[in-house]
């Protein structure tokens, strides 16, 4: 037996308690999914039949599912937490490849999420609601906040998840990150230069054009970074 | 202008010690991709990383890395 190491053996009660918590989380996942799905459909139908403004229904229909996903992630992280030693630098350093891989998937999913959000909101922003101007403001602000949050994540890299993850950005990762964001800056400037005359020519395009500009400013460097990371160093 | 690249004997030194890229990466605390790109001369490591590589592979930086001139 190793001296100075924490024992991971647990009593039967602890193991049974853990399994019970896991069962509760599993039940919550299944029930929560069904409830959120039904809520989304109800919201959509309420918009269709005029119980609430259609633009509100369109925008909020995905909200129950998003809440379910966030709640599931929160419960999983609480109930399936690794041993406290897993956060130590010596362990994290041996898991750099795994952390980077998870980060790539997080970035890919964030591009997908922002794409879906931009598609729905730019549609709404293209037809500003004159009766409910606050809805247009809410839709635009939501898109801006979502993209800003994801942009911060892309900018900071894995350390966005917590300070301890900063070591997951090794030299190569930092170099690829810098290269991707340099390209992203150029792409953003080119698109902004193109958007300006388009908006001046057709002011109605302002909302959708700015939405897609924001999306592109986040998505292009992020996707390029993911591609660079995937291409770097295959094979042993 | 002569273009210079950094060549290396990382693979020879690593296989001499019977290490895989993953094992070497874990010992140094970098990703396997970093080792792979350095080995393939795609990525030029910093002085710190070069010193750590040399130390881990029980050799010197000069023995591990060399400059390739464009005319070569």
Whole-number Cα distances in Å, B25 to A97, B22, B29? 9, 5, 6
> What is the spatial distance between Cα A233 and Cα A100, in angstroms, rounded to a whole number?
13
| Lowest mean pLDDT, pick from A45-54, A75-84, A155-164, B51-60 | A75-84
In terms of pLDDT, which residue wins out, A140 or B60? Answer: B60
Domain boundaries, chain B: 11-61
pTM score of the predicted model = 0.75
Whole-complex ipTM: 0.87
Interchain contact, A236 vs B25, CB within 8 Å: no
Interchain contact, A172 vs B30, CB within 8 Å: yes
Q: Name every residue whose Cβ is closer than 8 Å to that of residue A167 and which is 6 or more positions away in sequence.
A: A89, A92, A93, A96, B29
Whole-number Cα distances in Å, B36 to A236, B30, B48? 7, 11, 17
> What is the spatial distance between Cα B59 and Cα B41, in angstroms, rounded to a whole number?
19
In terms of pLDDT, which residue wins out, A101 or A24? Answer: A101
Domain boundaries, chain A: 12-81, 85-231
Q: What is the tens place of the pLDDT at every residue in A110-127?
A: 999 899 889 888 877 877
> What is the spatial distance between Cα A4 and Cα A236, in angstroms, rounded to a whole number?
35
Q: A229 and A173 in contact (C-beta within 8 Å)?
A: yes
Q: Categorize the per-residue pLDDT at A235 as very low, low, confident or very high, splitting at 50, 70 and 90.
A: low
Q: Which residues from A are below 8 Å from B43, CB to CB?
A: 171-172, 175, 232
Q: Which residues from A are below 8 Å from B30, CB to CB?
A: 96, 170-172
User: How would you label A113-138 residue by residue, b for 16+ Cβ within 10 Å and e otherwise?
Assistant: bbeebbebbbebbeebbeeeeebbeb
Q: Mutate which of B22, B33, B37, B41 to test chain A, going by most A C-beta atoms within 10 A? A: B33
DSSP H/E element including B5: strand B4-8
Q: What are phi and psi of B5, to 5 degrees?
A: -125, 160
Tell me the CATH number for domain B11-61: 1.10.260.40
Q: Which residues from B are below 8 Å from A173, CB to CB?
A: 31, 34
């Amino acid at each position: 037996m190793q001296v100075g190491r924490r024992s991971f053996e647990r009593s039967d009660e602890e193991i049974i308690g853990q399994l019970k918590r896991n069962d509760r989380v599993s039940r919550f996942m299944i029930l929560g999914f069904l409830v959120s799905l039904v809520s989304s459909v109800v919201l959509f139908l309420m918009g269709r039949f005029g119980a609430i403004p259609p633009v509100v229904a369109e925008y909020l229909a995905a909200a129950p599912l998003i809440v379910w996903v966030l709640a599931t992630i929160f419960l999983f992280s609480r109930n399936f937490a690794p041993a406290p030693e897993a956060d130590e630098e010596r362990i994290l350093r041996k898991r750099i490849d795994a952390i980077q891989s998870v980060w790539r998937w997080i970035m890919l999913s964030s591009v997908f999420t922002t794409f879906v959000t931009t598609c729905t909101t730019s549609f709404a922003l293209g037809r500003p609601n004159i009766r409910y101007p606050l809805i247009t403001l809410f839709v635009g602000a939501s898109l801006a906040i979502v993209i800003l949050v994801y942009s911060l994540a892309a900018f900071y890299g894995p350390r966005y998840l917590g300070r301890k993850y900063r070591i997951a950005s090794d030299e190569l990762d930092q170099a690829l990150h810098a290269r991707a964001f340099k390209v992203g800056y150029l792409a953003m400037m080119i698109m902004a230069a193109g958007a300006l005359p388009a908006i001046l020519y057709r002011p109605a395009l302002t909302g959708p054009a700015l939405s897609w500009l924001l999306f592109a400013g986040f998505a292009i460097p992020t996707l390029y970074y993911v591609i660079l990371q995937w291409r770097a160093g295959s094979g042993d | 202008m002569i273009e210079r690249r950094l060549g290396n004997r990382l693979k020879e030194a690593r296989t001499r010690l019977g290490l895989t890229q993953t094992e070497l990466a874990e010992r140094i605390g970098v990703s396997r991709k970093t080792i792979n790109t350095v080995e393939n001369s795609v990525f030029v490591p910093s002085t710190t990383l070069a010193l750590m590589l040399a130390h881990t592979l029980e050799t010197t930086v000069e023995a591990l890395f060399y400059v390739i001139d464009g005319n070569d």
